[in-house]
């Protein structure tokens, strides 16, 4: 069974800092998702990737398949980036394409 671990669990930083959130998984995957849950509760899909790197605005997601590791970076962080960031992986062995979810990283950006 795939285990998904995120680090850190909690992260507080000053506005403008470069942020890195990590996600590690234990077995091979076919895809990895990064999602954001706002303080109000809404969940938004940020990235889905299976190799390399994706960029959207100030957000960058990378994945290293060999090391079973992904990172989510936020450049020039802003208080509105404060949210919980969740990593989820899909196993190619699961015919139901079920996602295995990490526990999330709570990010607080102080002005």
Partner 1 sequence: DTAVSQTPKYLVTQMGNDKSIKCEQNLGHDTMYWYKQDSKKFLKIMFSYNNKELIINETVPNRFSPKSPDKAHLNLHINSLELGDSAVYFCASSQWRGSEQFFGPGTRLTVL
Residues 10-49 that bind partner 1 (CB under 8 A): 30-31, 33, 35, 37, 41-45, 48
Beta pairing partners, 20: 73
Nearer to partner 1, 16 or 92 (CB): 92
Smallest distance from the beta carbon of 27 to partner 1, in angstroms? 16
Alpha-carbon distance of 62 to 65, in angstroms, equals 10
CA distances from 30 to 3, 63, 98, 99 (A): 14, 12, 11, 10
Smallest distance from the beta carbon of 52 to partner 1, in angstroms? 17
Smallest distance from the beta carbon of 64 to partner 1, in angstroms? 21
Nearer to partner 1, 18 or 97 (CB): 97
- Which residues lie near partner 1 (CB under 8 A)? 30-31, 33, 35, 37, 41-45, 48, 84, 86, 88, 90, 96-99, 101, 103-104
């Amino acid at each position: 069974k795939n285990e998904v671990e995120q680090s850190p669990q909690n992260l507080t930083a000053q506005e403008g800092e470069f942020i890195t959130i990590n996600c590690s998984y234990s077995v091979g995957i076919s895809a990895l998702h990064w999602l954001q849950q706002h303080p109000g509760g809404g969940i938004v899909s940020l990235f889905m990737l299976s190799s390399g790197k994706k960029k959207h605005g100030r957000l960058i997601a990378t994945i290293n398949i060999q090391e079973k590791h992904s990172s989510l970076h936020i450049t020039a962080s802003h208080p509105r980036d404060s949210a919980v960031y969740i990593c989820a992986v899909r196993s190619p062995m699961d015919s139901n394409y079920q996602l295995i979810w990490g526990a999330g990283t709570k990010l607080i950006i102080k002005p």
